[in-house]
Structure 1
Amino acid sequence: MGNEFYKTSTSEKLFKFINYALIVALCLSIILPFLNITALAFNPGRDAERGGIYFWPRIWSLENFEKVFESSNIATAFGISIFRTVVGTVASVFLTAMAAYALKSKTIPGGKFLTMLVFFTMLFGGGIIPYYMLLKSLYLTNNIWVYVIPGLYSAWNLIIFRTFFQQIHVSLEESARIDGYNDFTIFTRIILPLSRPVLAVIALFNAVGHWNDWFTGAFYVRSANLRPLTTLMQEMLMSAEAMRETLEQAAGSYHLIDRIQVTGNSLKMAMIIVVVTPIIMIYPFVQRYFAKGIMIGSMKE
């Protein structure tokens, strides 16, 4: 191996060096900001505003996280986020896969037209006001199912599933039908077990989308007990920023500002850690399927 390396040309060595340098730079661009966020999250806010904190807290403190978790609705918000992520992801992946399995069949009447309609929804939308009116007419506003039902189907995910299913050899389905299997049994016992890579990728996309979504809770839900974690965090951050601006503008309030240990910026960093940690813990379990599922689901023989 060593001799082969030295036999490579100068251009090849330069190409490898540039590739490795770009990969290292990309890794650092991801890791270093996260280390900075972690350091600021575990450092008192007023002390952090002095600057000079990069990848390690100057003073270790949990004050920022205590502020995050002091909300009386934090446990409920966690429960709502977990519910919508688990139920929404499982239901969306299963139903989207079923629809894609039906559309991949060349014998389905109007299959190409239905596929075109699905693709059309990726290009055009009705707008937020008609969408709100639709949700209201379906009694989904201020309802926990507003987090699940509207997002059950995704045109992009359906196309990825459909492309993947088309690569599974049709002889497997024909053999199963000879053995007396119906379409649903073939789908659940043959197609889904063979589709674990793309299932893992689509499930990850859905889970991240559900977990990070704050918009739905802020605009379509009025009850504080039905708001997910990200929406609650956003409201807390806005309240902290508003209080900060009020104290700064009020005459003679500088002594009050000095007492504030949790600033808007430090609270934001703590919220990022709280929201991102569950996804980071789940990702290693599906990481091995990630690249394989994307490649298989995006290519067609």
Structure 2
Amino acid sequence: MLESKSYKVFKVFNAIFLLLVVFITLYPFLNVVAQSFSSEAYINSGKVSIIPRGFNVETYKTISRDSMFWTNYKNTIIYTVVGTLISMFMTTIFAYALSKKRLMGRKFLTMFAVFTMFFSGGLIPNYVLINSLGFNNTMWALVVPGAISIYNMLIMKSFFENMPEELEEAAAIDGLNTYGILLRIILPLSKAVMATMVLFYAVGHWNSWFPAFLYLDKKELFPVTIYLRNMIAGATGGVSAGASADNLTQISANIKSVTMVLTILPILTIYPFVQRYFVTGIMLGSVKQ
């Protein structure tokens, strides 16, 4: 089809507008990355935009030389992997059960779950519960209490409800029980929503720091978010990382930028592999057909 002149003009302006939106979206991130590689003088004078000025990697070197940083980084990876696996297992079986209209007490269980989205016991009762369970200074204090996100569970429940019942009926006729239907029929057809939930849970566990701040006392058990928080707050800082006095000013100037880059880098690495499932999973799990 021949394109009209007005349509060609529209495409040009549309492309310019979208490029502008992309630039506005990326600018804060590019600015943070640029500051993390810039020298203290340029950062304090506000001369850093999206290109590093006075290229400097002293803060990266200082942090990377500290063995505790790598220990805490390893802890974060372990907590994220274990926490995501536990969350996916519990969310999947809960959502699948609630998606069945034949389940007795289905409405009550759904309302009970939704109730917990808006009301909780509070900080002190939660701390007392974790302490009474003996979870203090263990990984379980971080991955068990918030194992199920009700928001994620409702999305997955809606996704399961939209799947044709004839699939499960045919599988049951072929001799599969409930667990076989879930493992061999439902889950292979739910890659989109499963990938989306994995991304949600993994990001949540990776960025989490407050539960570790409450329940962990040993530095060797801290996630990397606590380590970097302490760096910013001055609880550890350059001295514990072995920095000289001449480098402390530089470290204090761009520690926040370095912290943000080190925290989000793994997520940015993983996201492109699950991005194609992301929108599909959200839409299929949030729209009732």
Matched, 1:199 2:194: yes
Report the CA distance shift for 1:117/1:18 in structure 2 as closer, same or farther (over 3 A).
farther
Please tell me whether the aligned partners of residues 33 and 257 of structure 2 are also in contact (alpha carbons under 8 angstroms).
yes
SS of residue paired to 2:234: helix
Q: Distance in 2 between matches of 1:149 and 1:236?
A: 27
Q: Distance in 2 between matches of 1:46 and 1:106?
A: 65
Aligned twin of 2:241: none
Report the CA distance shift for 1:56/1:258 in structure 2 as closer, same or farther (over 3 A).
same
State the TM-score, normalized to the length of structure 1: 0.87
SS of residue paired to 1:32: helix
State the TM-score, normalized to the length of structure 2: 0.91
Decide which moves more: 21-30 or 109-118. Answer: 21-30
Q: Distance in 1 between matches of 2:232 and 2:127?
A: 26
Report the CA distance shift for 1:21/1:229 in structure 2 as closer, same or farther (over 3 A).
same
The one of 154, 169, 175 aligned to 1:159: 154
Aligned twin of 2:30: 35
The one of 89, 96, 99 aligned to 2:91: 96
Matched, 1:79 2:67: no
Q: Distance in 2 between matches of 1:24 and 1:8?
A: 18
Q: Distance in 2 between matches of 1:87 and 1:71?
A: 25
Q: Distance in 2 between matches of 1:224 and 1:58?
A: 35
Amino acid at match of 2:132: S
Matched, 1:221 2:221: no
Deviation at 1:77, TM superposition (A): 0.5
Q: Distance in 2 between matches of 1:242 and 1:232?
A: 10
Please tell me whether the aligned partners of residues 76 and 225 of structure 1 are also in contact (alpha carbons under 8 angstroms).
yes
Deviation at 1:22, TM superposition (A): 5.1
User: Structure 1: 5+ residue runs without aligned partners?
Assistant: 244-255
Amino acid at match of 1:136: N
Please tell me whether the aligned partners of residues 59 and 255 of structure 2 are also in contact (alpha carbons under 8 angstroms).
yes
Report the CA distance shift for 1:114/1:17 in structure 2 as closer, same or farther (over 3 A).
farther
Instruction: List aligned pairs for 1:1-301, cutoff 5 A.
Output: 1=1, 3-6=2-5, 13=10, 23-239=18-234, 260-301=248-289
Decide which moves more: 132-141 or 199-208. Answer: 132-141
Q: Distance in 2 between matches of 1:62 and 1:190?
A: 51
Deviation at 1:258, TM superposition (A): 7.1
Equivalent pairs counted in the alignment come to: 285
Q: Percent identity?
A: 39
Aligned twin of 1:252: none
Q: Distance in 2 between matches of 1:259 and 1:71?
A: 15
Q: Distance in 2 between matches of 1:139 and 1:257?
A: 42
Please tell me whether the aligned partners of residues 80 and 226 of structure 1 are also in contact (alpha carbons under 8 angstroms).
yes
Amino acid at match of 1:293: G
Please tell me whether the aligned partners of residues 67 and 262 of structure 1 are also in contact (alpha carbons under 8 angstroms).
no
SS of residue paired to 2:250: coil
Q: CA RMSD in A?
A: 2.4
Please tell me whether the aligned partners of residues 42 and 57 of structure 1 are also in contact (alpha carbons under 8 angstroms).
yes
User: Structure 2: 5+ residue runs without aligned partners?
Assistant: 239-243
Deviation at 1:236, TM superposition (A): 1.1
Deviation at 1:79, TM superposition (A): 1.2
Q: Distance in 2 between matches of 1:48 and 1:257?
A: 19
Deviation at 1:39, TM superposition (A): 1.2
Please tell me whether the aligned partners of residues 73 and 223 of structure 2 are also in contact (alpha carbons under 8 angstroms).
yes
Amino acid at match of 1:6: K
Amino acid at match of 2:24: S
